[in-house]
Structure 1
Amino acid sequence: MHRFKELEIWKRSKIFCSVIYTETNNFPSSEQFGLTNQIRRSAVSIPSNIAEGASRTSQKEFSRFLEIALGSAYEMETQILIAEDLKFLPQEKTAYILDELNQIVKMISKFRSQLKTN
């Protein structure tokens, strides 16, 4: 079992989640229950699944929750690109968000590969 609050991947993804909430505040109000909600749910899912996985007693289970966190990250990448296409996000904000998301994906992937799941 891991202490999730000590994991850099959890810390970074939690901060990133706050950034996403701030950036989506400027989306049109008509998107409150659409793309805004979807992006926020994906953002929250990343640190949440890391935390839940850390509570599991087996590395194999933890690895599965990290896999779910990665899925949420890729889901968010798609949603961010759609938001840019719809002009909800300027290109420079999109680039920043996707760069940070990519760093988090790399961290999760590396951590997951280091878990002993046998």
Structure 2
Amino acid sequence: MHYRNAVIWQKAMALAEAACRCSIQIPAEERFGVRLQITRASVSIPSNIAEGWSREPRKEKSQFLAIAQGSLSELHTQLLLCERLGWISCAELQPTYGLIDEASRMLTTLRRRFRS
């Protein structure tokens, strides 16, 4: 199966799109700060899933999924900070938080499968 057909990759792409759209609201002076970090972390998630999907050895697949999980945690932290600073409303972030939760559960399950 191609990575584009994997539900986890599709969720990660939807999450990246949502996070990038939310980041537009961050003040302009943060364009090269928090906003750029959000963009990089969100893009890293589906990118690492795709790269891991293309690797043959299970250990390599697992490593890239772990990197995607780390980027997911990084993104979540950055969005929580934006919410605390009042840059993005809690209500607006709820759908994105839902995608983060779904992607995190799926990545955890997939990583466990590759460890076995």
Number of the residue aligned with 1:41: 40
**Residue 94 of structure 1: CA displacement?**
2.7
Number of the residue aligned with 1:94: 93
CA RMSD of aligned residues (A): 1.3
Q: Write out aligned runs for 1:29-68 (5 A).
A: 29-68=28-67
**Residue 77 of structure 1: CA displacement?**
1.0
Number of the residue aligned with 2:81: 82
**Residue 9 of structure 1: CA displacement?**
0.4
Give distance in 2, aligned partners of 1:12 and 1:100: 7
Give distance in 2, aligned partners of 1:93 and 1:29: 19
Q: Could you say what secondary structure the match of 2:71 adopts?
A: helix
For residue 114 of structure 1, what is the amino acid of its counterpart?
R
**Residue 85 of structure 1: CA displacement?**
1.1
For residue 27 of structure 1, what is the amino acid of its counterpart?
I
Contact 2:11 2:99 in 1 (8 A): no
Aligned residues: 116
Contact 2:42 2:72 in 1 (8 A): yes
Give distance in 2, aligned partners of 1:29 and 1:69: 27
Give distance in 2, aligned partners of 1:91 and 1:14: 21
Do structure 1's residue 4 and structure 2's residue 30 form an aligned pair?
Answer: no
Q: TM-score, normalised by structure 2?
A: 0.93
**Residue 99 of structure 1: CA displacement?**
2.1
Number of the residue aligned with 2:24: 25
Number of the residue aligned with 2:15: 16
**Residue 66 of structure 1: CA displacement?**
0.3
Gaps (5+ residues) in structure 1? none
Q: Could you say what secondary structure the match of 2:86 adopts?
A: coil
Displaced runs of 4 or more, over 6 A: none
Cα deviation, 1:51-85, whole Å, max 9, x if unaligned, reads: 11111111111011000000001111110111011
Give distance in 2, aligned partners of 1:34 and 1:66: 26
